[in-house]
Amino acid sequence: MWKAFAAGAAAAGIGCLLRSEYEKNHFVVEETVVSSTKIQREKRFVFLTDVHDKEFGPGNEKLLKAVAEAEPDGILIGGDLMVSKGNGDLSASFRLMEGLAKLGPVFYSLGNHEMRLGLERETYGGKYEELMKRAEELGITMLVDRTAPFSEDVWITGVDLHPSFYKKLFLERPVRMPEHYLEDKLGTCEKSRFQILLIHSPLYLKECAGWGADLSLCGHFHGGTVQIPGLGGLMTPQYQFFLPWCAGTFEEQGKKMIVGRGVGTHSINIRFNDKPQILVIRLTPEKGSGGRPA
Which 8-state DSSP code applies to residue 239?
-
Most confident of 4-13, 15-24, 176-185, 236-245: 176-185
- CA dihedral (94, 96, 102, 105) in degrees, to 10, reads -90
DSSP string of 247-263?
SEEEEETTEEEEE---S
Q: Is 14 helix (H, G, I), strand (E, B) or coil?
A: helix
* 141, pLDDT greater than 60: yes
> Of the given ranges (14-28, 130-144, 194-208, 257-271), which has the lowest mean pLDDT?
14-28
* 160, pLDDT greater than 80: yes
**215 CB-contact burial (10 Å; exposed 0-12 / middle 13-18 / buried 19+):** buried
pLDDT band, very low/low/confident/very high, at 127 (cuts 50, 70, 90): very high
* 281, pLDDT greater than 70: yes
d(CA 197, CA 213): 6
Cβ neighbors of 2 (< 8 A, separation 6 or more) are none
**8 CB-contact burial (10 Å; exposed 0-12 / middle 13-18 / buried 19+):** exposed
Per residue in 67-107, pLDDT (tens digit) is 999 999 999 999 999 998 877 799 999 999 999 999 999 99
d(CA 73, CA 142): 17
Q: Is 198 helix (H, G, I), strand (E, B) or coil?
A: strand
Q: Residue range 21-46: average pLDDT?
A: 95
pLDDT band, very low/low/confident/very high, at 267 (cuts 50, 70, 90): confident
* 293, pLDDT greater than 50: no
* 291, pLDDT greater than 50: no
Per residue in 205-218, pLDDT (tens digit) is 999 999 999 999 99
**Proportion of the chain in helix, strand, coil states, percent, rounded to 5:** 30, 25, 45
pLDDT band, very low/low/confident/very high, at 3 (cuts 50, 70, 90): low
Cβ neighbors of 154 (< 8 A, separation 6 or more) are 39, 43, 193, 194, 196, 283
Q: What is the pLDDT of residue 8?
A: 52
pTM of the model: 0.92
- CA dihedral (219, 220, 224, 229) in degrees, to 10, reads -10
Q: What is the pLDDT of residue 294?
A: 34
- Mean model confidence pLDDT for the chain: 90
